[in-house]
């Protein structure tokens, strides 16, 4: 499918929308930090939803993929607003939110802001608060100094072809959206899928999410040899089984 464009006053968001059965919830995929809607999980879900007759939406945040703006100017709040605009203006009816890594944080923020639109939430290596807990708190004194002086820093263990800038604005603005310091009053069912070999989001982070959610309808599935991406065929099948269960298909 050729992406369409949602034109907003200050930005343009590329998206793909697949219509489905009007009496069933749809699926909204929320990608990760510096990812786009062409990834393995997003594409796999598109195929499965099409086969099942489920409406499906995927998109690129501003500064990502085919959407407008510069990645280095983006923040958690802006990307949450992008997801909210897609939910409000493109998606039809209640949705199952499927959030990968950063997308898991965005999904929780959406579920808090628009609970009437969210039937369920699936987090895949979900990373709420990652800017603080998995970046800032792990930065060396030298990295923190560079961030203060230059306005951005690259993660120390990133390979040369995957050097993603982490900006001071991202870290500072992210503190306005932290969730794991208090109870998270999400009311929709939550399903978390986490790899035990994830080097970016440790499995203990998933336990923190479970502990902080007020909702009792929460399940965590651990994959013993799973990495952060969880895009092996067997991982994708587990993901679809969780999504299909929430969809009741």
Cβ contact 107:123 at 8 Å = yes
Mean pLDDT of the chain: 96
168 domain residue, yes or no: no
Residue 72: CATH number of its domain: 3.40.50.1820
Residue 228 lies in a domain: yes
Residue 40: domain span: 4-128+182-247
- What CA–CA distances, in Å, run from 96 to 30, 54, 81, 118, 247? 11, 11, 18, 6, 7
Residue 196 carries which DSSP code?
A: T
**Per-residue pLDDT tens for 44-57?**
999 999 999 999 99
Each residue's pLDDT tens digit, 194-222 = 999 999 999 999 999 999 999 999 999 99
pTM of the model: 0.97
Tokens of residue 217, six digits: 């309808």
For residue 163, the tally of other CB atoms under 10 A from its CB is 9
Residues 6+ apart with CB under 8 A from 10: none
Residues near 77 by beta carbon (within 8 Å), at least 6 away in sequence? 173, 176, 177
Of residues 63 and 159, the one with the higher pLDDT is: 63
40 three-class SS:
helix
DSSP states of 115-149 as a string? GGGEEEEEEES--TTHIIIIIGGG--HHHHHHHHH
Evaluate whether 164 touches 155 at the Cβ level (below 8 Å). Answer: yes
Report yes or no on 155 lying in a domain.
no
Cα distance between residue 170 and residue 207, in whole Å: 25
Number of residues that make up the chain: 249
Number of domains in the chain: 1
Which position has the token pair 């990760």? 32
Both tokens assigned to 85: 């605009």
What does the block give as tokens for 150? 């230059």
Active site residue ranges: 101, 198, 228
Query: Is 193 part of any domain?
Result: yes
| 175 within domain boundaries | no
In a domain, 95, yes or no: yes
pLDDT digits over 85-139, tens only? 999 999 999 999 999 999 999 999 999 999 999 999 999 999 999 999 999 999 9
- Is the residue at 163 inside a domain? no
Residue 80 forms part of a structural domain: yes
């Amino acid at each position: 499918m050729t992406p369409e464009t949602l034109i907003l006053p200050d930005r343009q968001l590329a998206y793909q929308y697949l219509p489905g059965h009007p009496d069933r919830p749809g699926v909204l995929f929320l990608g990760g930090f510096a990812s786009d809607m062409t990834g393995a999980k997003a594409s796999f879900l598109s195929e499965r939803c099409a086969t099942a007759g489920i409406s499906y939406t995927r998109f690129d945040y501003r500064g990502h993929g085919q959407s407008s703006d510069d990645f280095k100017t983006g923040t958690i709040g802006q990307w949450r607003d992008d997801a909210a605009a897609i939910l409000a203006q493109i998606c039809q009816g209640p949705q199952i939110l499927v959030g990968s890594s950063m997308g898991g944080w965005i999904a929780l923020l959406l579920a808090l802001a628009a609970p009437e639109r969210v039937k369920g939430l699936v987090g895949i290596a979900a990373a709420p608060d990652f800017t603080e807990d998995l970046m800032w708190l792990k930065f060396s004194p030298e990295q923190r100094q560079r961030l203060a002086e230059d306005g951005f820093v690259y993660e120390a263990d990133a390979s040369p072809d995957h050097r993603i800038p982490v900006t001071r604005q991202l870290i500072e603005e992210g503190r306005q959206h932290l969730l794991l310091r208090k109870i998270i009053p999400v009311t929709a069912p939550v399903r978390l899928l986490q790899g035990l070999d994830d080097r970016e989001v440790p499995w203990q982070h998933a336990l923190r999410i479970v502990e902080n959610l007020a909702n009792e309808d929460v399940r965590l599935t651990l994959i013993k040899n799973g990495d952060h991406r969880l895009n092996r065929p067997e991982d994708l099948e587990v993901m679809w089984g969780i999504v299909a269960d929430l969809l009741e298909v």
